[in-house]
């Protein structure tokens, strides 16, 4: 009888946004058995978590784990503190001028730390994250040097790391433009209508079209020559 | 008028055990304004959190933040999974033979990631952690090379790191024996009667005296020539 090889396992950080859903499609396209991981961390809305749950089911993950986090309570970000306004209509120059108020302190470190814990318990050696260093909002924890440093740390942090398994942080979107990401996702069959990127949706979940995340997303679709199928508030 | 310098701020990871309470005393002894950080992560008991709260008050911290974590739900450790037995009466040879079942996957990575987030929001540049590489239980995330790698990562992860502040992970117990730690704590005035180290306390909170943590602790007091004032179950 032919030997049946077991699929490799991966943990995929899944926010429900355009980037992380594309990463989920890439990991499944490579044949990984996927443990999807999302967080409730005091975000202003739950639309992205609802998209995450539907996309996890659609892409046939092994499990979709949703963790509650307390970091939102620490404050310091427009994404978790209703008293700080989400910027609208910023130019590209403004976006590249520094770390914006939507930055959630140490968020990707906390997310990846949880992914590492889940990976160790489930026997996964690959952690996927949808960070992007081209069309991004200036967050320090999206940069390639951060990802490389996290990987070096993770290999020392865990039982599997110390026993020789080559734990790897995969950031396949890292050097892609938003247009490249959209094209790759469409090739893999991603349904972008059910992805949520907006920082300031209206009460029905329609995207604002004007926050940094919406602007980067719309520019990506425009440059890919495709209409963004997500629902935007009119006006 | 003389200039009043603002105290430096630090985040101290505080479990309520012998090591972390000693670290709290060291940080306060150095004059830091301390933000103490503890976690509910599915531990089998809450005695150490109760000690942490009393010690935080005793040492005059700025705040004591207790975060709920989901990593206990991932399983894989005797400390968070009641179906895995906590080893009793292991010899030093057995303790040094590998990573034990009490290891909680990626726990220190998750703890330090939260400390980093809190530090960034509160304007602290120093994170204190009570890891020890001499009298320890063989956990990979207690080793000096892990701490150094976390520090390198943390400096790239945050706004403060990218803006030039020298974020530092302080592990003052790292190269001390348990006896040295006890002596240093007593010198600083630590009340070790109200510290909790045992993995398997009885229902009243009395320590078992036979798990790895109790054995290392008792050996430390013995070598320091001092009676451990903590309460042990008779038997």
Average pLDDT over residues A108-123: 93
Which of A55-69, A198-212, B72-86 comes out lowest in average pLDDT?
B72-86
Strands A126-128 and A168-170: parallel
Provide the pLDDT for residue A141: 85
Helix B18-29 with B178-188: angle, nearest 10 deg: 50
- The answer, yes or no, to whether residue A26 has pLDDT greater than 80, is yes
CA distance B169 to B151: 6
pLDDT at residue number B192? 97
pLDDT at B1 over 70: no
Instruction: State residue B43's pLDDT score.
Output: 75
Lowest-confidence region among A7-21, A91-105, B68-82: A91-105
| Residue B21 to chain A, least CA–CA distance (Å) | 23
> pLDDT of B183-233, one tens digit each?
999 999 999 999 999 988 998 999 999 988 899 899 999 999 999 999 999
Average pLDDT over all residues of chain B: 88
pLDDT at B180: 96
Of A48-57, B132-141, B184-193, the least confident: B132-141
Whether B140 sits inside 8 A of A120 (CB atoms) is: no
pLDDT value at A136 more than 70 = no
A214 against B6, higher pLDDT:
A214
Q: Is the pLDDT reported for residue B32 higher than 60?
A: yes
Q: What angle do CA A123, A125, A126 make, to 5 degrees?
A: 130
Q: Which of residues 53-72 of A touch B (CB under 8 A)?
A: 65, 67-71
Task: Give the whole-angstrom CA distance, residue B170 versus residue A83.
Answer: 34
pTM, full prediction: 0.89
How far is it, in rounded angstroms, from Cα B193 to Cα B196?
8
Evaluate whether A140 touches B156 at the Cβ level (below 8 Å). Answer: yes
Q: How many CB pairs under 8 A join A and B?
A: 146
Share of chain A above pLDDT 90, in %: 62
Shortest Cα–Cα distance, A5 to chain B (Å): 24
Provide the CATH number for the domain formed by B9-196 in this structure.
Answer: 3.40.50.620
Q: Which of A69, A153, A161, A169 to mutate to test the interface with B (most CBs of B within 10 A)?
A: A153
Q: What phi and psi values does residue B22 have, to the nearest 5 degrees?
A: -65, -40
Which CATH architecture best describes the domain A9-224?
3-Layer(aba) Sandwich (3.40)
């Amino acid at each position: 009888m032919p030997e049946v090889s077991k699929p490799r396992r991966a943990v995929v950080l899944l926010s429900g946004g355009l980037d992380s859903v594309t990463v989920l499609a890439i990991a499944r396209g490579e044949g990984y058995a996927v443990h999807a991981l999302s967080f409730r961390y005091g975000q202003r809305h739950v639309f992205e978590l609802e998209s995450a749950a539907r996309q996890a089911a659609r892409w046939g993950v092994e499990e979709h784990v949703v963790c509650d986090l307390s970091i939102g309570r620490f404050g310091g970000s427009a994404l978790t503190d209703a008293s700080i306004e989400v910027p609208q209509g910023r130019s590209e120059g403004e976006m590249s001028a520094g770390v914006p108020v939507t930055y959630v302190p140490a968020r990707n470190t906390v997310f990846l730390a949880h992914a590492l814990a889940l990976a160790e318990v489930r026997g996964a050696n690959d952690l996927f994250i949808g960070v992007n260093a081209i069309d991004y909002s200036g967050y320090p924890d999206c940069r390639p040097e951060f990802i490389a440093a996290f990987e070096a740390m993770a290999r020392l942090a865990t039982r599997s790391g110390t026993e020789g398994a080559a734990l790897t942080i995969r950031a396949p979107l890292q050097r892609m433009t938003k247009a490249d990401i959209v094209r790759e996702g469409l090739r893999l069959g991603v349904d972008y209508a059910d992805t949520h990127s907006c920082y300031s949706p209206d009460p029905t979940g329609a995207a604002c079209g004007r926050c940094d995340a919406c602007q980067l997303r719309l520019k990506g679709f425009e440059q890919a020559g495709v209409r963004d199928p997500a629902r935007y508030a009119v006006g």
